[in-house]
Amino acid sequence: MVGEKEERAVEAEAVVNGPLDQVWRAWTTSEGAATYFAPRCGIDPHPGGKYELLFDLEAEPGRRGAEGMMVLAVQPEAMLSFTWNAPPHLPTVRGQMTHVVVRFQALGPEQTRVTLRHDGWGQGGEWEEAHAYFARVWAQVVLPRLEYRFRVGPIDWEHPPRLR
């Protein structure tokens, strides 16, 4: 509708020095995601499949990371969409799902552009904290780790690199 405020979103982008098929597998397989995203991953890359990434393996179930997330849409080597939740330190909004769309574009045989859009935000209270958290984490942690994985190698989860 005319005059309505545009939906706010977190947007981030990276150019990865890796071929499209390998960057795609890094996002869409449990083994690939474990090389840069989280120490333990469970990904079933089809609509309705799981998209779980566990960041804190010592935490109690429900507080380990992106538990219970689901793949919404897949266009092979072009687009992946999944649900996402807030971190455990934001319990009021953690149980509500937001929406992430990741797009992939080959820039050449050994380079891929990855763009990410995270939307579905509420307003006020912990929603503001969650939005600020992911504005930082996608751009300063996740995508830099993806770039690192293709430039240097898989993340050593015992000693993750400090990036940005």
The CATH number for 57's domain is 3.30.530.20
- Please give the residue range of the domain that contains residue 54: 9-151
Q: H-helix or E-strand containing 11? A: strand 9-16
Domain membership of residue 1 (yes or no) is no
Q: Is position 3 within any domain?
A: no
pLDDT at 61: 85
- Split into its structural domains, the chain has a count of 1
| Enclosing H/E stretch for 133 | helix 125-137
Predicted TM-score (pTM) of this structure:
0.92
**pLDDT per residue rounded down to tens, the chain (164 residues):** 444 567 899 999 999 999 999 999 999 999 999 999 999 999 999 999 999 999 888 878 887 888 999 999 999 999 999 999 999 999 999 989 999 999 999 999 999 999 999 999 999 999 999 999 999 999 999 999 999 999 999 999 998 888 76
Task: Examine residue 36 and state whether it is found in any structural domain, yes or no.
Answer: yes
Residue 66 lies in a domain: yes
How far does Cα 26 stand from its chain's mean position? 11
Q: Is residue 55 domain-resident?
A: yes
| Per-residue confidence (pLDDT) for residue 33, from 0 to 100 | 97
